[in-house]
Amino acid sequence: MSLTATAKAGPPSPAGTGPGPDDGRAATLRRTWRKASPYAYIAPFFTLFLAFGLFPLLYTAFVSLYRVELQTSGEMEWRGIANYTALFTDEYFWISLRNTFTIGVLSTVPQLAMALGLAHLLNYKLRGRTFIRTAILLPYATSVAAATLVFAQLFGRDFGLINYAIGLVGLDPVDWQTGTVASQIAVSSIVVWRWTGYNALIYLAGMQSIPHELYEAAEMDGASRWRQFIHVTLPGLRPTIIFTVIISTIGATQLFGEPLLFEGSISGGISHQYQTLGLYMYEQGWGFFHLGRAAAIAWVMFVLIVVLVGANALIARRRARKEAGR
Amino acid sequence: MPIARAAKRATARLGAVVLAGALLAACGSSDSPDSADGAGGKVTLTVDLFGSFGFKEAGLYEEYEKLNPGVKIKQSDTQDEADYWKSLQTRLAGGGGLADVQGVEVGRIASVTQQQSDKFQDLKEFGADRLKGEFAEAKWSAATTKDGKILGLGTDVGPEAMCYRTDLFEQAGLPTDREELAKRWATWDGYLELGKEYKKKAPAKSAWLDSVGSLYGIMIGQEEERYYDASGELIYDRNPAVKEAWDTSVEAAEAGLSAKLDQWSPQWNQAFSAGSFATIPCPAWMLGYVKGQAGDGGKGKWDIAKLPGGAGNWGGSYLSIPRAAKHKKEAYALIKWLTAPEQQAKVFQKQGNFPSSTGAIETIADAKDEYFSGAPIGRIFGDAAKESPVQVLGVHDQNVMQQITNALSEVERKGVSSDKAWQTARKGVDNVIG
């Protein structure tokens, strides 16, 4: 607005002959503005990104080369890559890496499979469709803390509802907190519960963009619903599925709230049996106050996510090319 | 494609809303002046504590507000001290979000005096040195730095005893009289023997002991030197006292005497009222915790006897004022009042937290607790306080303890061998010290 105003009230041309050159200047200004304005519009995001995204990222890298303790954060002591070498020789790092992977698989795979099935069902004409669609999003709207605390009660060893139910069938109670597999299943179940509906809605949106004629054609050819799902829905959904896989991979790598609150233990159980990388970082940083080491873990996680997402994208592209070549 | 266009427009609008929200959030974070804090108006003092200090329960805040009409007190409370300490450290490092009064556990006080003396207010500036004579000597000196700064006023100490459920003892055919029990479990071996006897005839789903972590904690409290020696060197690894407490705890775990609970976990809390265990080692401050968790239903079912193996001290706390506190002067007036003998005595009567003020100790010698079957808590804890050793405190006391009890849980809950668990504990401690 101010730019146009200046343009209109621009100084009179020295020759004072006519509006010609003045119009030219206004046009130039307008053209510049048209070119520059997109940058102005996106500037707020990038300013925020620089301040809260890029700067912390770089500063974390800087801190990871020092010995910094939260209690005496003013004193920094150069360590070089010692924080990283200490990390790679720490047994608990590898345990938490493995846990992150197993919990990631235990939660992502059933989550996406169930979401796909749910979306497929919701794609049919159902009574109260909108209600059901909203309802499946509810777990996602619940806070991690609330959900996890409820699940921790359900999975309680002595007074938990799940062990009670197991007891009714005549089985021995399971110590959901202590067992490695049991605790990882319990933590994964919270993730599955929270995110299945969210993914189902994304799949549903993807399904609705698949042209209806394809289904009609398939039906004419005598394809059953299952075959339609396999041969029409899944190929049509491929980009959506790749998107959710990438998002879930990132989410699984950063998994933190559920394992932390499950037992209230920063070491992920007494033997680190469900400690994820995120929790391991938190334990080093805010349990033991070793900020330098925590920063090193953060960077290792960052690189890990980049590699995972890159691998995902690569596989996806290669498959797409194969399809195209067929 | 009208639908696509509409979608695009909607997306753009959504984007604008999100962006506006982000900008507003970025601008709106500046401090809003607290209108209640104006000159001559009311001062709101914030008090941030952990566990159960018992000030609120004993009605002390109300009383103070009545005595000082210009002051309002707001307390926040974290159950688990480890969580509390974590958030306190984060806020100290950032310099924001600190309360006017912060509680400090005795296992952390060395960290405050040795590492963070610049982050806490020297109470001498308000004349705290005049209070020196009112407190137990060891309590006072632990909160004083080498150069004489006073960084906290003592609230309570943790003389130790053994709490037990008389109803469960009866059902298992054990004596319930506190004097007789004190004789039978004069040593820790006697305590374990009695536990094995209990196990034979115990009610279903009831163990002798809540967790071996508590057992270890109370035993280590009977020692003068634990994790550090007087010169400040870490000695937990070669200290025979630590080994003895460890071995006894392992024995209890392997004999199946514990309810396999984790202290401070939600399950542990639930077990108080469910009768999952018959005894719990209890420092004086545990009385308030038991009352809180077991509730009214537990009244009269509990009793207290002298601790096996002699007197000891576990825990106890301080009230400190961070440098970044808003109302330091008013905060000092409050903590001076809260830790004065009369108030400490009141907290003891109500919650059982044993006073660190020498004046208060004299006045409560005859106190009894109805909740605990009228046990003479003044005498039991008073004797323990007199006889308990003055402990050597170290910077990482609390963290070392946590790693060791964590490893003990592995023995207790997973059946890991003692040697292997000890390696875990050592690795954990190395990790903490970093």
**pLDDT surpassing 90 at residue B84:** yes
Which are the contacts of B181, defined by CB distance < 8 A and separation ≥ 6? B162, B164, B175, B194, B305
Task: Kindly state the percentage of chain B with pLDDT values over 90.
Answer: 85
Residue with tokens 């004579």: B133
Q: Chain A: nearest CA to B93, how far in angstroms? A: 6
Q: From the list B86, B92, B111, which residue is nearest A287 (CB)?
A: B86
**pLDDT surpassing 80 at residue A280:** yes
pLDDT tens figures, A256-278: 999 999 988 889 999 999 999 99
Long-range contacts at A130-137 (CB < 8 A, ≥ 24 apart)? A133/A201, A133/A204, A135/A197, A136/A196, A136/A197, A136/A200, A136/A201, A137/A197, A137/A198, A137/A201
Taking the CA atoms of chain B, what radius of gyration do you get in angstroms?
Answer: 24
Supply the DSSP string of B408-428, one letter for each residue: HHIIIII---HHHHHHHHHHH
Neighbours of B22 (CB within 10 A): 14
Higher local confidence (pLDDT), B331 or A19: B331
What pLDDT is recorded for position A20?
Answer: 53
Pairing of β B277-283 and β B302-305:
unpaired
> For an interface test with A, which of B118, B260, B262 has the most A Cβ atoms less than 10 Å from its Cβ?
B262
Q: Chain B: nearest CA to A291, how far in angstroms? A: 11
pLDDT tens figures, B332-354: 999 999 999 999 999 999 999 99
Distance CA A313, CA A245 (A): 10
Nearest alpha-carbon partner for A251 in A300, A195, A303: A195
**pLDDT surpassing 70 at residue B90:** yes
Amino acid at A21: P
Query: What is the enclosing helix (H) or strand (E) of B125?
Result: none
Whether residues A158 and B89 touch (CB distance < 8 A) is answered with no
pLDDT tens figures, A114-144: 999 999 888 877 788 889 888 999 999 999 9
**A92 touching B (Cβ < 8 Å):** yes
User: How far lies B175's CA from each of A266, A281, B166, B194, B209, in Å?
Assistant: 41, 50, 8, 10, 17
What pLDDT is recorded for position B5?
Answer: 46
Distance CA B399, CA B395 (A): 9
Mean pLDDT of chain B: 90
Instruction: Outline where chain A has alpha helix (H).
Output: 2-8, 20-49, 55-63, 82-88, 91-122, 129-141, 144-154, 161-169, 180-208, 212-220, 225-228, 234-253, 257-263, 277-282, 291-325
Number of Cβ pairs closer than 8 Å across A and B?
Answer: 76
What pLDDT is recorded for position B109?
Answer: 96
User: How far lies B195's CA from each of A76, A87, A178, B182, B258, in Å?
Assistant: 52, 44, 25, 14, 9
Query: What is the enclosing helix (H) or strand (E) of B56?
Result: none
- The answer to whether residues A275 and A269 touch, using CB atoms and an 8 Å cutoff, is yes
What pLDDT is recorded for position A120?
Answer: 87
Say whether B116 sits in a helix, a strand or coil.
Answer: coil
Where is average pLDDT lowest: A122-136, A289-303, B177-191, B319-333?
A122-136
Higher local confidence (pLDDT), B24 or B379: B379
Q: From the list B90, B264, B409, which residue is nearest A286 (CB)?
A: B90
Neighbours of B149 (CB within 10 A): 18
Cα B335 from chain centroid (whole Å): 18
pLDDT tens figures, B5-43: 444 444 444 444 444 444 444 443 334 334 444 445 789
Structure tokens that stand for A13 in this block: 């041309």
Sign of CA dihedral B139, B142, B146, B150: negative
pLDDT tier, B96 (very low <50, low <70, confident <90, very high otherwise):
confident
pLDDT tier, A326 (very low <50, low <70, confident <90, very high otherwise):
low
What is the arithmetic mean of pLDDT over B95-103? Answer: 94
pLDDT tens figures, B122-162: 999 999 999 999 999 999 999 999 999 999 999 999 999 99
Q: From the list A156, A267, A293, which residue is nearest B434 (CB)?
A: A293
pLDDT tier, B313 (very low <50, low <70, confident <90, very high otherwise):
very high
Q: Chain A: nearest CA to B97, how far in angstroms? A: 16
> For an interface test with A, which of B210, B414, B423 has the most A Cβ atoms less than 10 Å from its Cβ?
B414
Q: Any bridge partners for residue B104, and if so which?
A: B318
Sign of CA dihedral A141, A144, A145, A146: positive
Whether residues A45 and B19 touch (CB distance < 8 A) is answered with yes
Say whether A36 sits in a helix, a strand or coil.
Answer: helix
Neighbours of B300 (CB within 10 A): 14
**pLDDT surpassing 90 at residue B54:** yes
Crossing angle, helix B341-351 and helix B60-67, to 10 degrees?
150
Cα A279 from chain centroid (whole Å): 16
Structure tokens that stand for B357 in this block: 């003020």
- The answer to whether residues B275 and B206 touch, using CB atoms and an 8 Å cutoff, is yes
Distance CA B151, CA B119 (A): 10
Neighbours of B417 (CB within 10 A): 12
What pLDDT is recorded for position B40?
Answer: 57
> For an interface test with A, which of B91, B267, B323, B396 has the most A Cβ atoms less than 10 Å from its Cβ?
B267
ipTM for the predicted complex comes to: 0.82
- The answer to whether residues A173 and A167 touch, using CB atoms and an 8 Å cutoff, is yes
**A158 touching B (Cβ < 8 Å):** yes
A72 CB neighbours in chain B (<8 A) are 115-116
What pLDDT is recorded for position A13?
Answer: 47
**pLDDT surpassing 90 at residue A189:** yes
What pLDDT is recorded for position A22?
Answer: 64
Residue with tokens 């108006």: B41
Distance CA A171, CA A79 (A): 53
Distance CA B410, CA B155 (A): 34
What pLDDT is recorded for position A127?
Answer: 84
Percentage helix, strand, coil for chain B under 3-state DSSP, each rounded to 5: 50, 15, 35
Distance CA A192, CA A183 (A): 14
Cα B51 from chain centroid (whole Å): 5
DSSP type of residue A76: -
**A71 touching B (Cβ < 8 Å):** yes
